Amino acid sequence: MYSPTVLDHFHNPRHVGEIPQPTGHARLENPVCGDVLELWTRVGEGRLEEVGFRAFGCAAAIASASMLSEMVRGLPLGEVLALHPGHLIEALGGLPASKRHGAALALEALKAALGPEDGF
């Protein structure tokens, strides 16, 4: 049901936890399936320098956050903001149809963590 890449990121998630000196933070919840994703970002000189996350949810949710954190590290903000859930799903080697919301939540949380301060 899951690709080897998804299973790898699920069993060995990258960039788990809070990062030093974050410049952004977001915590999003999918009210339907109950997934919760928390992200910390640090932006410097127009680039996303570092991302850390914590996730509660199914393998797709955890693997999406992990893969996304790999993909966007060091990217110019313009490129990060242009990312689409399809890019993430492709990088994961595909996701079952009922699990694609995991990738959407990860991107949504990342964009929220790059947005205006949320009182962090």
Partner 1 sequence: MIYLDHAATTAVAPEVVEAMLACFTQVYANPSNVHRPALEARRALDRARQSVAGNLGARQPGEIVFTASGTEADNMAILGLARAHRERGDHVITTRIEHHAILHACDELQREGFRITRLPVDEWGRVDPQAVVEAREPGTILVSVMLANNEIGTLQPVEEIASALKGSGILVHTDAVQAVGHIPVDVEQLGVDALSLSAHKFHGPKGVGALYLRSGVRLQPLVFGGGQERGLRSGTENVPGIVGLARALELACQGREERAERLRELRDRLVGRILGELSGARLTGHPELRLPGTASFVFQDAEGESLLLQLDRKGICASTGSACSNATLEPSHVLKALGLPLQLAHGSLRLTLGRENTPEEIDQAAQAVVEAVGRLRSLAPRARS
Does 12 interact with partner 1 (rule: CB under 8 A)?
no
Give, to the nearest 10 degrees, the angle between helix 59-72 and helix 4-11.
Answer: 90
Does 105 interact with partner 1 (rule: CB under 8 A)?
no
CA dihedral 91, 87, 37, 28 (to 10 degrees): -170
Does 43 interact with partner 1 (rule: CB under 8 A)?
no
- List 8, 16, 73, 94, residue binding partner 1 (CB under 8 A): 16
- How far, in Å, CA of 69 to CA of 110, rounded? 9
Does 56 interact with partner 1 (rule: CB under 8 A)?
yes
State which residue, 63 or 88, has the beta carbon closest to partner 1.
Answer: 63
Burial of residue 31 (CB within 10 Å: 0-12, 13-18, 19+) is exposed
State which residue, 8 or 49, has the beta carbon closest to partner 1.
Answer: 8
State which residue, 46 or 118, has the beta carbon closest to partner 1.
Answer: 118
Does 25 interact with partner 1 (rule: CB under 8 A)?
no
- How far, in Å, CA of 15 to CA of 41, rounded? 11
Backbone angles phi and psi of 27, in degrees to 5: -135, 115
CB of 23: closest distance to partner 1 in angstroms?
Answer: 19
Kindly list the residues in this chain that would bind partner 1 in the complex (CB under 8 A). 2, 7, 10-11, 13, 16, 27, 32-38, 54-62, 98-99, 101
